[in-house]
Amino acid sequence: MNYRFFGSATPPLVPNNPAFARIRDQYHLYDLLCHTWCAETCAPRLRKEWSSENKTLGQCSITAFLVQDIFGGEVYGVPLPDGNFHCFNKVGNIIFDLTSEQFGNVRLDYQNATLQKRETHFEKEEKYLRYLRLKEALLRKLD
């Protein structure tokens, strides 16, 4: 399959969390998430714009922290003009962004990124609940 997310040419990663051992690599995870992301997991401010054609819209932080649960590593954020951050993952030397397609042909500057903390993001209860919903839906797909 031809993947279009940022970092899609990186080597496959193996999950380091036994709860997710059935996930083969980040490409398999992306395939699973394509059938898991939904309007309810989209950030509320972007929900009206979410569609199955743009399924990664508004999914970045909850996806990045879920990826961290599965593969380890760190979550970083690219500052956006509206003051928000777009989150992506770095595992060892491998950088990838499973939700980059929401930006179309615009390339983000992944070098100008700052470390993101789960605790800060999940201070927003709605974000934490969206993360749990995504995680639970993924685990159901793995059963």
Spans of all domains in the chain: 23-142
Residue carrying structure tokens 């990186």: 10
pLDDT of residue 143: 86
pLDDT of residue 112: 83
Residue carrying structure tokens 């929900």: 47
Q: What is the pLDDT along the chain (143 residues), one digit of tens a residue?
A: 789 999 999 999 999 999 999 999 999 999 999 999 999 999 999 999 999 999 999 999 999 999 999 999 999 999 998 888 999 999 999 999 999 999 998 889 999 899 999 999 999 999 999 999 999 999 999 98
pLDDT of residue 19: 93
pLDDT of residue 110: 94
Residue partners of 77: CB distance under 8 A and separation at least 6: 61, 85, 86, 87, 88, 113, 114, 115, 116
Which ranges of 35-124 would DSSP assign to H, the alpha helix?
60-71, 118-121
Whole-angstrom distance, CA of residue 40 vs CA of residue 59: 10
Residue partners of 42: CB distance under 8 A and separation at least 6: 50, 57, 58, 59, 130
Please tell me what DSSP assigns to residue 107.
P
